[in-house]
């Protein structure tokens, strides 16, 4: 790797003149003195700035003209790679499998862009959280290395197939390291596809990368491991901070959770209830008595059919967009309607067309909480008469995933019964 990756023109001349390269720790004088590490530039950046990482973990661009003085302190070898450390197994501890799919929790500094990138292996995750060694023997495996926005239903299926292969293993549970942006979609699919899975599956993410002092990566992983070892339950969960502090980690049902903030550590919230479990130090607090914990048998249903769409209704929505879905062969449409589950009367004709095409039509609400009830107002009753199925308090994203799953696992495409059945706590009881 170049000692000046991403630098060119004036910024490159500046570094060379001061005998500074990427990875060097320096003292920089602008309006004040600061110690920082020189980071690589993004390949398409200008030549007027250098990028440094302060001890806070933040990358900052400094304009060359504003730097009064820069002094070399020390160097690191940015090409150096270390073999991931592996703890010696402890026979008295249970076994946990850690699958890595990527995301911020599995990230490190990328010396091409100067940003965090999903490049850590699952072994690296284990190595940087040594506390896991006191909780369980952790086997690690890389499944994918992708930001979660790049994951597709095909990735969901491959993840489910991998997990299914361990259904008869001696693992106490499985941690799935996952990016947070689409983690609720993956969790929902796994909840349906692997309903009754004999051991807990816990998806874990991080809102802040491991190079930042405020990172939640380690605490979320530790809590997930403790939950698996101590909870004695099955099901699919998402384990993330319960508040901005470190005093508790929430374990949410995979079908009842939504990411509600872009950056807070407690971005994930259970909708319509409190989290199923809270992990506090070595204590596991159970808040839910859902029948989901008492699945009688495990019969995996892992297929997926993506011919389902989520339509967010808004004033002025063009019915032609739904006609496009019909013409493209979609088999299910989930509406995210207003209030108790309404869409405008300008949609009635296209609803009739969709039902004539034997498309499943489900109704959820745009509201953050509460239940769909289409029997109260005249417009809701009209929509019921037209064939729309109310989906109570199922989250719209969960309903979309469930429709894809139901279509993939129903031969005749008749998914009405499956969509209204409470399979994995997608409806609150």
Tens digits of per-residue pLDDT, 315-340? 999 999 999 999 999 999 999 999 99
User: So what's the pLDDT on residue 292?
Assistant: 61
Whether pLDDT at 82 is above 70:
no
pLDDT band at 80 (very low <50, low <70, confident <90, very high): very low
User: So what's the pLDDT on residue 106?
Assistant: 62
pLDDT band at 1 (very low <50, low <70, confident <90, very high): very low
pLDDT band at 81 (very low <50, low <70, confident <90, very high): very low
Q: Which domains, ranges and CATH numbers included, belong to the chain?
A: 9-74 (2.30.30.520), 95-294 (3.40.50.1170), 308-420 (3.40.50.40)
pLDDT band at 295 (very low <50, low <70, confident <90, very high): low
Q: Residues of the chain with pLDDT > 90: what percent?
A: 65
Q: What is the mean pLDDT of residues 387-409?
A: 98
Please count the other Cβ atoms lying within 10 Å of the Cβ belonging to residue 316: 7
Whether pLDDT at 214 is above 70:
no
Whether pLDDT at 61 is above 90:
no
Model pLDDT for residues 248-262, shown as the tens digit of each residue: 999 999 999 999 999
C-alpha distances in Å from residue 321, one per residue of 27, 324, 326, 333? 57, 5, 9, 12
Higher per-residue pLDDT: 170 or 121: 170
Which one from 37, 78, 101, 104 is the annotated catalytic residue? 104
Q: What angle do CA 232, 236, 242 make, to 5 degrees?
A: 85
Distance CA 16, CA 27 (A): 16
pLDDT band at 246 (very low <50, low <70, confident <90, very high): confident
Active site residue 181: yes
Phi, psi of 51 (to 5 degrees): -110, 130
User: So what's the pLDDT on residue 296?
Assistant: 64
Distance CA 149, CA 126 (A): 24
User: So what's the pLDDT on residue 83?
Assistant: 47
Short-list 417, 360, 404, CA closest to 190 = 404
Active site residue 180: yes
pTM, two decimals, is 0.83
Which one from 53, 226, 259, 402 is the annotated catalytic residue? 259
Which one from 181, 211, 246, 382 is the annotated catalytic residue? 181
Which one from 113, 180, 255, 410 is the annotated catalytic residue? 180
Distance CA 228, CA 171 (A): 10
Least confident of 103-112, 270-279, 400-409: 103-112
Q: Which tokens in the block code for residue 344? A: 């405008």
């Amino acid at each position: 790797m170049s000692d000046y990756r991403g630098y060119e023109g004036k910024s490159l001349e500046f570094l060379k003149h001061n005998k500074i390269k990427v990875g060097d720790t320096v003292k920089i004088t602008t309006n004040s003195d600061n110690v920082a590490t020189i980071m690589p530039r993004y390949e398409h950046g200008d030549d007027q700035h250098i990028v440094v990482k302060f001890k806070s973990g933040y990358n900052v661009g400094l304009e060359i003209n504003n730097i009064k003085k820069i002094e070399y302190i020390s160097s690191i070898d940015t090409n150096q790679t270390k073999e991931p450390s592996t703890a010696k197994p402890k026979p008295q501890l249970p076994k946990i499998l850690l699958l890595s799919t990527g995301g911020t929790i599995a990230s490190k500094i990328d010396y091409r862009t100067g940003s965090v990138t999903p490049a850590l292996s699952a072994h690296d995750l284990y190595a940087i959280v040594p506390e896991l060694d006191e909780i369980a023997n952790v086997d690690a495996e890389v499944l994918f290395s992708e930001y979660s926005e790049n994951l597709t239903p095909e990735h969901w299926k491959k993840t489910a197939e991998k997990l299914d292969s361990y259904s008869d293993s001696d693992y106490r549970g499985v941690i799935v390291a996952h990016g947070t942006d689409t983690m609720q979609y993956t969790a929902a699919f796994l909840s349906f596809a692997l309903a009754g899975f004999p051991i807990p599956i816990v998806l874990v993410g991080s809102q802040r990368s491991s190079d930042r002092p405020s990172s939640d990566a380690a605490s979320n992983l530790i809590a997930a491991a403790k939950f698996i070892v101590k909870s004695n339950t099955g099901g699919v969960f998402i384990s993330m901070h319960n508040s901005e502090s470190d005093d508790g980690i929430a374990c949410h049902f995979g079908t009842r959770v939504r990411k509600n903030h872009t950056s807070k550590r407690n971005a994930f919230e259970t909708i319509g209830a409190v989290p199923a479990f809270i992990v506090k130090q070595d204590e596991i607090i159970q808040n839910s008595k859902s029948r989901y914990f008492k699945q009688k048998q495990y019969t995996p249903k892992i297929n997926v059919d993506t011919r389902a769409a989520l339509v967010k209704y808004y004033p002025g929505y063009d019915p032609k967009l739904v006609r496009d879905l019909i013409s493209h062969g979609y088999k299910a449409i989930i509406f995210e309607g207003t209030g108790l589950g309404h869409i405008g009367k300008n949609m009635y004709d296209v609803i009739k067309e969709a039902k004539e095409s034997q498309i499943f039509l489900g109704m959820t609400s745009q509201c953050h909480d509460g239940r769909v009830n289409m029997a109260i107002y005249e417009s809701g009753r009209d929509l019921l008469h037209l064939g729309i199925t109310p989906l109570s308090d199922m989250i719209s994203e969960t309903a979309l995933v469930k429709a894809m799953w139901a279509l993939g696992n129903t031969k005749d495409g008749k998914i009405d019964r499956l969509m209204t059945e409470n399979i994995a706590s997608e409806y609150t009881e």
